[in-house]
Structures are given as C-alpha cells and as structure tokens.
Structure 1
Amino acid sequence: MPMSRTAHQDLHSERGALRGEHPGRSRNPVIRVADLAWLEFEKPDLDRAEVFALDFGFSVAARTPDALWLRGTFAGPPCMVIRRGRASRFVGPAFRAAGPADLDRLARATGSAVREADVPGGGRAVGLLDPSGLPVRVVHGTRELPALPGQRPLLLNSGTAPLRTNAVQRPPREPSRIQRLGHVVLETRVFGRALDWYLDTLGMIVSDFLFLDGQRDRGPTMAFLRCDRGTEAVDHHTLALHLGPGDGYVHSAYQVTDLDAIAAGGEYLAERGYRRSWGIGRHIQGSQLFDYWRDPDRLMLEHFADGDLFSRDLEPGWAPMSGSGLAQWGPPVTRDFLGASPSPAKVREVLRALRGDNELDPARLLGLMKAMTS
C-alpha cells in the first residue's frame, strides 16, 4: 500500500503529488522488468573505445573484430556492448526480464517476436521501439559472468568510532573500477508518451518528478524511474527521462566503490587528457556522489557511489526543475553538462522540435531555459 503523505514527506521529498497529478506507476503493466541488462553503442574505432573503457574502469568481457563487450566487477552480464559502426552513437538500452514467461507476454502484447539474443552466452530477447523511436530490448537467459576482484572501500575514521589505527590512507591513483551499470538518462520530445510507455509496458515506477516553475499544471518535464521489485529496495532510478529538443542519449552511470575511488579515478582520467563535464558533487534526486566525463567521441559517462535505494512503497516526490537543484554540494553545474552550449546544430535541433508534432512548444522551451539558469 502507498505510504501516507506525512511519511512520504519525512522520508523522501518535501513535496508530494497534488490531487489529479500523474500517479507515477501503471495499474496493470504488461511486465515488470528487473533491471537494466546493458547499453548498446556503435563506434568506428573499437581500439580507441577500448583504451577509454579501461581508463574509465571497465573490464573487457569479450572482443571480436566488430564488437567490444565491457563489464564491471560484480557478477552478472556485461554492462555495455560497442559494435563497429560508421559514427559514434547510442543504439539503445536492454532491460532484463524477471522470467522467461515475461518475454512471451511482452511479445503477445506488443505484436513482437521472441528471438535468440545475439550476445555472448545466448539468451532470448524481444525488440521494441519506444515512443521516441529508440530501440529497446528486453532480454532473459543471458550468461552470468562470475565476479572479478574489486576495489575495497577505505576504512574511515569519523567521530568517536575510529576504524583505522597505525595505518595511513593512500588510495592508489588508478582507474575507478566499475562495479556495475546503474542508469541511463534519455532526452525526448514526447516526454508524456515516453513516460507512460515505460510505465505501462515495462512496469517501471517513478521515484521523483520535476516540473517547470509556473507550469506545474501542465505536468512534469522530468521523471526518475526505478524498477518495481516489490519490497526489495532498488536504485532510485534505472532510467531518467526529460523533455527537450533532442531525442536519445544524455548520459549513462556506473557504480564504483566510494568517494575516494571517484576522486582518485578522476585524477587518473585527467592525467590522461580526458575532459570532465561536471563534478565531483552529490545529487539531490537519488543522492549519488557523482563525477561526469566525456569520452573521446564526447559521449557522457558518470562514475557514482552511495545512491538511494527505494522499495515499491515509496511514492513519487515532486520538485521544481532548476540547475542549482541538481546537487546538494559541488561545483556549479556546467553548460556542457546541461547541453546548453550554443551551436548551429543545437539551434537547428530546437527549430525542428518547435515545428514538430511533440510536447515542446515555446512556453515549455522558455521554461526549460529559465530552469537551467536558475
């Protein structure tokens, strides 16, 4: 049963839903996915992609002339595949079904087919398109990789309960060893349709909504979605969606051990000439410690640690969208992170969006621009 608004406010957010606002979940979804399985990309230079991947902290699970599979240290499937392509681009996410019957149910409900998954170790998959036109796969039965040695969290002395005596702290200057895939963030011009599709089709539920100042009556413009695994607590968000002039990938996030792993790994990346987009800081929605970087093709990836975990019981929070509201502490949010750097391509993207059949109109666009500078 949903928690009371008082408990909701005390535990999660100062604001809950108003009467008649989006409930943040579907009454009867087709299935309930268990987690993200992996993300799929294309890049023309797999050798360069592998160098960055190792510097960022991935391990290589498999390599062929035309594909690179990357993994973290936790047991499970690889968390990223990069296939050889003509340009660097995000192809789409793959979600993990809770059981084999879910694939059959999903295929019947969507008029799709269950096919063999073209991944190392086999498995089955259903291929779909979300309302933005993004390919989405739901998979089951893929091979689980055994765990690898990981970075140990440092013992921290705090207050009256010291854990470390007669020993010094010297975190090594090395890549932040990735543990697992955490989430992906997508931009869409059809936010409302995309949100409802992920709730109705994949059974995800909303942890937090963001709305534009003065436009709450028009509904939210960003949602942080988690998987519904009942009483089991899961990541605050596995998928985040926000309204914007573009369609597709914004960034993806990968869990590491702790703050020292984030910081030392960031120094390692900086020494090798990679570009930080924003960080280090701590988010508000999700509470993660974060650090954002650009790969050689300017795709954004995040190291994170210490994120919130929610069970099904927690209701969505509601908060105004703002640039300053993205972090509890840390450096000011950058234009690069917000995608707000002016360019001819960005102007063309905005003009196409304003002319199209979508949810981005001049009032929404001005509200988004105001939010990101507030």
Structure 2
Amino acid sequence: MAVHSDLHSERGALRGEHPGRAANPVIKVHDIAWLEFSKPDLDRAEVFGRAFGFVTSYRDGRELHLRGTQAGAPCVIIRKGRGTRFLGPAFRAADARDLLRLADATGARVRPLPETLGGSVVDLADPGGLPVRVVAGTEELPALAAQSAQRLNLAGGIDRINGTQRPPREPAGVRRLGHVVLQSTAYRRTLDWYLRHLGLIVSDFLYYEGQRERGPTMSFIRCDRGPTPTDHHTLALTLGPSDRYVHSAYEVADLDALAAGGAYLLDEGYKRSWGIGRHIQGSQIFDYWRDPDGFLVEHFTDSDMFDSGLEPGWAPMTASGLAQWGPPATKDFLGIAPGRESLAELRSILTALRSHDNEFDLDRLRGLLKVATS
C-alpha cells in the first residue's frame, strides 16, 4: 500500500495500531445507495428537500423519495411516521451474488424490495442495533439535466472571454448522496463490523489528544473498489454517549452552486448550522444546514478520491482541526448549543457512564470535552 505521508492527516499508523481494513471481508459494497428516515410531515419534508436541491422521484401518502441528478437510486427515502427518526442506511452490493454470500454468512434472508425500488435486499443490524440494508438490482433512475459548474478565469488560464459570471440564486442542484456520519457507543465493535461485513476500508483515523494508546475514536471510511477511486468517506463513525445519526452529505456542482444555494436557503428561512469552509479529512468544501425536523445535512463539492492502495492516516481530533479555512465550528454543529439535542446528549452521557456495556467512559468524556473546546 502507498505510504501515508502529508496527504490528509498528521501521519500514518504506529506499530500495532488498527490496520483500517478486514483481512477477509464477507463482501465489498460498491457504494452507499440511500438513507431512510421517518417523519410525520411529508409535505414539509418535500418543501425543504426541493429547496435543498433534491428532485422528487416518488410520492404517495406514506412515502417520499428524493433523488439527485445522477442516474441511480433515490438519495433519501422518507416514510410517514409519528416521530422523527433515522431508520438506517442502505449500501449497494456489486451484484446479487454478494447478497447470497452476505445472507449465508449472517443467517439473514435475501428478500425482494417493493416495486417502487425493485431489486433485492439483505437486512442486517450493526452492533448498535441500527438497521443496515444491502441492496442489489434496484431500479436505475435515469440521469437528469444537471446544474453546470461555472467557467472560471483562474491564474492558470482563461476559460471565459467576453462573458460575465452570474450564478443564479437558486437551489443547489444535488447530484448524489456522498456519505453518512454515525455516532456509536461501541465504536470499535461497530467499525470492525462494517469492515468485516461490507468490506469498507479506513481513509483516516482520529484520536483524542493524549489518548492515542487507547485507539481511535473516529474513522472516515470508504468503499474498496480496487484501483477505481472512490470518495474519501462513504461512512464515518465516531465514538459518543449515544447511538445516533450525526449528518449526511450531498454533492453539488461547485463552490458557486453551494454558496448561491445557501443564499437561497437563507432567503427561504432555513437555518445554516456551519459553513462555508473546507474540511481537512476529505478536503470537501462544505455547508451544513438543519432541516425542519432537526436533521443535519451537508452540501459538499470537491472531495478527495482515493483508490484502495492508500493506507489510513492518523491525527488528533480537535474542533479547529475540522476545517482548513472557514468560520469556527459552531455550537450547533458540535451539538452543544442549548436545546433539545444537547439535553438529550447530556442524558445519554449520564446513562453511558453508568453502563459497562459501551466504550464511553470518564476518560473518553474528558477527551470529548477537550475536542469541543480545542
């Protein structure tokens, strides 16, 4: 594998640290397929979805599918329910034979998906109990006309002559689902489960400062498609006092689409959580928003793409280390702003510290608090 040096983290692994991949995974998923949510108001969810840049691909009284412009499956499936809840991610297998291998290894069954999606699914649960679906043979939605990237006059050359730059103030056209970030009280068990069952591999590990010897507390994880480059992370996992959804991210054309789309969302009365900036791990230009149900969602552009030959990087976890440039990470993004979310997390901290069946202990709490103030 390629030596990890000055690419996207402070350094590579030390002797004996987690290798970032399973020696013999059951299958290797091809990509993330979609995310599923439960929400009580599908009309409100659809209005925000369109303002955020999705296109509705299916709608009835009980279900809403929101898609990007790239060919493939919908990005988000929202089911009507009494409360708001993240129902879990779906990953796309390379082919239907992988579903049979996964079912044989786990004791699960291969079942048909509804006609609105087509194809087949194996339903699993990760160590935290989160439903995880692996699908194959789903209906391929055709590509739609996509928002074009702007032609730029940069220092290296001129691409626009006798023309002006007037990006419209409109929804940032979502191209595709990029990744989902999850928090787990059993981070190491959950990480190993995804690497073992789905064949994912780690791009970057983060650890609490002063606690590296206890192992990582966050990982950015990509699909293993051999020499074919894939997103720096399709899934990210972080240790915390509760098992929960953190955020999901959706690709847009370029910085102008992201910024003008953000201006449109502000005009429509929606709340920016954090942005605009550029991340360190993954290098994405980002902009984070809260949907009306409180879920954190991200527009991103210009992500790192890695093949399978690059080994994981290692770096300390700090709030200031989340971005190369941009405003400081907000309390809302970090989950410490006064409100229902921070109160729920506080209750989760007390519960986790009383339990012995998780990895979140008092030292880990001290490390997390240091992250928030670093």
Shift of 1:347: 2.0
Secondary structure of 1:181's partner? strand
Does structure 1 residue 173 correspond to structure 2 residue 173? no
Aligned-pair identity in percent equals 65
Q: TM-score, normalised by structure 1?
A: 0.97
1:144 & 1:80 partners in 2: Cα distance?
15
Shift of 1:360: 0.3
Q: In structure 2, do the counterparts of structure 1 residues 104 and 171 end up closer, same or farther at CA, with 3 Å as the change threshold?
A: same
Shift of 1:123: 0.5
Residue aligning to 1:370: 370
- What do the CA deviations read for 1:80-125 (whole angstroms, capped 9, x no partner)? 1000000111100000001111000000100100001135141000
**Match for 2:282: what amino acid?**
G
**Match for 2:260: what amino acid?**
A
Shift of 1:12: 4.0
Secondary structure of 1:16's partner? coil
Q: In structure 2, do the counterparts of structure 1 residues 97 and 319 end up closer, same or farther at CA, with 3 Å as the change threshold?
A: same
Secondary structure of 2:353's partner? helix
311-320 or 344-353, which deviates more: 344-353
2:67 & 2:168 partners in 1: Cα distance?
21
Corresponding residue to 1:284 among 280, 295, 305: 280
Q: TM-score, normalised by structure 2?
A: 0.97
Q: What stretches of structure 2 of length at least 5 have no aligned partner?
A: none
Shift of 1:266: 0.2
* Count of matched residue pairs: 370
1:348 & 1:154 partners in 2: Cα distance?
47
237-246 or 152-161, which deviates more: 152-161
Does structure 1 residue 117 correspond to structure 2 residue 113? yes
Let me know the Cα RMSD of the aligned residues: 0.9
Secondary structure of 1:9's partner? coil
Does structure 1 residue 184 correspond to structure 2 residue 180? yes
Residue aligning to 1:345: 344
- What do the CA deviations read for 1:287-319 (whole angstroms, capped 9, x no partner)? 000000000011110000000000000000000
**Match for 1:285: what amino acid?**
Q
Secondary structure of 2:5's partner? helix
Shift of 1:286: 0.2
Residue aligning to 2:44: 48
Does structure 1 residue 130 correspond to structure 2 residue 129? no
Residue aligning to 1:355: 354
Q: In structure 2, do the counterparts of structure 1 residues 140 and 238 end up closer, same or farther at CA, with 3 Å as the change threshold?
A: same
1:160 & 1:344 partners in 2: Cα distance?
50
CA contact (8 A) 2:8 2:280 kept: no
Corresponding residue to 1:335 among 331, 334, 357: 331
- What do the CA deviations read for 1:46-100 (whole angstroms, capped 9, x no partner)? 0010000000000001111100011000111111100000011110000000111
Task: Trace 1:59-78 onto structure 2 (pairs within 5 A).
Answer: 59-78=55-74
**Match for 1:362: what amino acid?**
L
2:267 & 2:237 partners in 1: Cα distance?
33
Q: What stretches of structure 1 of length at least 5 have no aligned partner?
A: none
**Match for 1:117: what amino acid?**
L
1:252 & 1:13 partners in 2: Cα distance?
22
Task: Trace 1:1-374 onto structure 2 (pairs within 5 A).
Answer: 2-3=1-2, 5=3, 8-118=4-114, 120-342=116-338, 343-356=342-355, 357-374=357-374
**Match for 2:96: what amino acid?**
P
